[in-house]
């Protein structure tokens, strides 16, 4: 796909999202405290990746917040509530699933696109108990963020271009992909049992055990714990923080332990925010991440947000390697249509002890429409 065609396709997708009427999935209620709510989102994006030698233009689904649909079916039992949660991605071509040699399928759904098939029992006194495919306790632990640009810029810096390979200084494609050396060690979704405590002065404690039930011939087992803190009423400030640890065992691979933490602070009167994150894997590498954001009401459409961030990692793919990335992003909310338009630019640099690689960059331009 040439650049003009890709840009026109992206513009058409963006125009479709903005022109769509504002619509939110309805909630249906019964007379006994039961309810049914459905929801979803589309997030098409134009991706342009420059590997230092060639440029590749694609129309993709934004991996940072992919297109999906789901519903929640809830029933009250006195002061407690039982909820069934179903959610699936559409399986559209993902921004981290294309490369120099492959554009992937425009649509390819399989069971690994299931995000939630989850039963939750939320009690007033003892917290919430969950079972089924869904988020582990440490899912999202690295992503504390008050910047307003999280749809396209965050600690998961590989999301815009994770499948592309770095080129060597001689111009050859290497075996090292962006996604291999830029990771946040954040917890994911598995078939699991999970417990979340009630909030104690803003603190919520979580623990889970899970296994990968969506892949065949897989015996991965993960145990994790996490603690989160949220407080939007610290005077002029809002604070979100999280800390977690996960232990994973799988036949044929070394056992591993991940420790991840993040914190985000917003100064509400000025709209300025700062986010910090850090993670370490005991058998691999570590990273640090910082993000500065600014949010303001510059138009009547909705909030406008800007951010700049920086990621620094080491020992991710081999001992002695280093990976750096910086990016800038802007988002514009269009409240009447539940749309969030965005534009972002990111650069990647990688080096190891044996090879010199060219720097690369990616542009992401698109819009997320929630319904």
DSSP state string for 239-262? EEEEEEEEEEE-TTS--EEEEEEE
Query: What's residue 26's pLDDT?
Result: 76
Average pLDDT, the chain: 93
Q: What percent of the chain has pLDDT over 70?
A: 93
Residue 15 in this model has a pLDDT that exceeds 60: no
Query: What's residue 14's pLDDT?
Result: 45
**CA-to-CA distance for 161 and 184, rounded, in angstroms?**
15
Please state the rounded mean pLDDT for residues 88-101.
Answer: 97
Note the helical H segments in 106-254: 178-181
Q: Which of 14-23, 195-204, 328-337 has the lowest mean pLDDT?
A: 14-23
- Whether this prediction's pTM lies above 0.85 is answered by yes
Phi–psi pair at 14, nearest 5 degrees: -65, -45
Please state the rounded mean pLDDT for residues 268-291.
Answer: 97
SS3 (DSSP) at 335: helix
Residue 351 in this model has a pLDDT that exceeds 80: yes
- Residue 200 in tokens: 């104690």
- Largest Cα separation within the chain, whole Å, is 70
Query: What's residue 10's pLDDT?
Result: 43
Please state the rounded mean pLDDT for residues 176-201.
Answer: 97
Burial of residue 177, with CB atoms counted within 10 A of its CB: 0-12 exposed, 13-18 middle, 19 or more buried: buried
- Residue 90 in tokens: 């559409």
Residue 172 in this model has a pLDDT that exceeds 50: yes
- Residue 109 in tokens: 């759904």
- Residue 183 in tokens: 């990771």
Domains of the chain (ranges; CATH) run 3-370 (2.40.160.10)
Query: What's residue 5's pLDDT?
Result: 39
**CA-to-CA distance for 304 and 294, rounded, in angstroms?**
8
**CA-to-CA distance for 206 and 197, rounded, in angstroms?**
6
Q: What percent of the chain has pLDDT over 90?
A: 89
- Per-residue confidence band for 41, with pLDDT thresholds at 50, 70 and 90: very high
Residue 295 in this model has a pLDDT that exceeds 60: yes
Residue 241 in this model has a pLDDT that exceeds 80: yes
Residue 345 in this model has a pLDDT that exceeds 50: yes
């Amino acid at each position: 796909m040439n650049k003009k065609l890709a840009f026109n396709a992206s513009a058409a997708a963006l125009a479709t999202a903005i022109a769509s009427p504002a619509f939110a999935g309805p909630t249906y209620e019964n007379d006994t405290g039961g309810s049914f709510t459905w929801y979803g989102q589309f997030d098409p994006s134009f991706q342009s990746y420059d590997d230092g030698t060639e440029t590749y233009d694609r129309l993709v689904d934004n991996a940072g917040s992919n297109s999906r649909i789901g519903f929640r079916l809830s029933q009250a039992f006195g002061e407690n509530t039982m909820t069934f949660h179903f959610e699936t991605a559409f399986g559209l071509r993902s921004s981290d699933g294309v490369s120099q040699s492959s554009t992937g399928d425009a649509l390819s759904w399989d069971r690994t696109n299931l995000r939630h098939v989850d039963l939750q029992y939320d009690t007033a006194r003892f917290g919430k108990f969950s079972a089924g495919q869904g988020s582990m306790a440490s899912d999202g632990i690295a992503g504390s963020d008050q910047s307003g640009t999280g749809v396209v810029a965050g600690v998961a810096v590989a999301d815009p271009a994770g499948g592309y390979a770095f080129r060597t200084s001689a111009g050859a494609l290497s075996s090292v992909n962006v996604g291999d050396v830029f990771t946040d060690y954040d917890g994911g979704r598995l078939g699991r049992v999970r417990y979340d405590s009630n909030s104690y002065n803003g603190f919520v404690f979580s623990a889970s055990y899970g296994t990968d039930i969506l892949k065949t011939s897989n015996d991965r087992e993960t145990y994790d714990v996490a603690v989160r803190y949220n407080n939007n009423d610290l005077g002029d400030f809002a604070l979100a923080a999280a800390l977690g640890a996960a232990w994973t065992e799988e036949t044929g691979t070394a056992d591993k332990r991940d420790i991840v933490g993040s914190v985000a602070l917003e100064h509400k009167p000025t709209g300025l925010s700062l986010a910090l994150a850090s993670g370490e894997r005991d058998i691999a590498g570590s990273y640090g991440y910082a993000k500065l954001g600014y949010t303001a009401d510059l138009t009547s459409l909705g909030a406008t947000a800007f951010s700049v961030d920086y990621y620094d990692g080491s020992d991710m793919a081999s001992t002695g390697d280093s990976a750096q990335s910086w990016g800038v992003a802007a988002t514009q909310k269009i409240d009447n249509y539940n749309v969030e338009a965005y534009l972002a630019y990111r650069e990647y640099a990688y080096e190891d002890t044996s090879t010199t690689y060219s720097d690369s960059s990616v542009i992401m331009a698109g819009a997320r429409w929630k319904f």
